[in-house]
Amino acid sequence: MSVIETRGLTKRYGNVLAVDSISFTVEPGQVFDVLGPNGCGKTTTIGMLLGIITPTAGEVRLLGLTGRDGLHAARQQVGATLETPNFYPYLSGWDNLRIVANLKGVGHTTIGEILEVVGLQDRRKDKFQGYSLGMKQRLAIAATLLGDPKLVILDEPANGLDPDGMREIRELIVSLGERGKTVFVSSHLLNEVERTCTHVAILRKGTIVRQASVRELLKTATIVELRGAEPERMHAAAASYPKAASVTMRGESVMVQLHDDDPASLNRWLAGQGVFVAFLAP
């Protein structure tokens, strides 16, 4: 039985097609990432999975269940974190989780174990306001694990974190996968997906342009490094290239993953946009 299955899932806001008839399947034990730039439809997709956003068309099946009553029952077995963690700043990590457990109707006996999983057991008595951004995000993930959900959904969990915080979240996601959890993640950082996930769907302008295991994707992907006088402008131009799967910044370099193995066409495209590359290498 698949954990997530969508067929023709679509969301339209007036004349804006945010998600365009996407279909994908997530199997038990996978760490599955929806990868794409901001505005490509990742958060909208997660909102439809969680029932926060009503689809315009298409079907969602969670844990083998569909329909209004079936999805409501399935979502009781889903843990999710969206956007910025929201906790009481003057309470400790432990007390914040105790409140979440009460709201979920689950006992407190597993709080210590979950804090150990996310690496916060030694800081459990510290106030939330004193936590680093990475620690706050890990506490948010701890809250999703209360009640032992069958599916964990994380929307951009490393967004805004410094390198140490990103490493902490990466290691945590990997550990959840190693424990057999099914994890559904959204991100825009290709290098993080390579290190954390087993499967990926690349989303561009609301459409899935590639879906594969990470191992298969890396075998066929062409990644090009670009450098020039205006890296931010280069990034924006590369992001609009039709055959770019993902575009990220790495220091002063722009890293572009292509759907094909033709960097020369990318170079010509950039020149046509008035962006000239000083260095290009696969």
Between residues 218 and 40, which one has the greater pLDDT?
40
**Which run of H or of E encompasses 104?**
helix 93-104
pLDDT tens sequence across 96-127: 999 999 999 888 999 999 999 999 999 999 99
pTM of the model: 0.79
Report the DSSP beta bridge partners of residue 9: 22
pLDDT tens sequence across 119-162: 999 999 999 999 998 999 999 999 999 999 999 999 998 888 88
Q: For residue 158, what is the DSSP state?
A: T
Domains annotated on the chain, with CATH:
4-218 (3.40.50.300), 221-281 (3.30.70.920)
What is the pLDDT, as a whole number, of residue 245?
A: 75
Token output for 245: 């799967």
Q: Phi/psi at 222 (nearest 5 deg)?
A: -110, 120
pLDDT tens sequence across 169-197: 999 999 999 989 999 999 887 777 888 99
Sorted by sequence, the CB contacts under 8 Å of residue 167 that are 6+ apart come out as none
Angle at 266 between CA 265 and CA 272, to 5 degrees: 90
pLDDT tens sequence across 120-130: 999 999 999 99
pLDDT tens sequence across 192-230: 788 899 999 988 889 998 888 888 877 666 778 888 888
pLDDT at 254 over 80: yes
3-state secondary structure of 232: helix
Percent of the chain residues past pLDDT 90, beyond the cut: 56
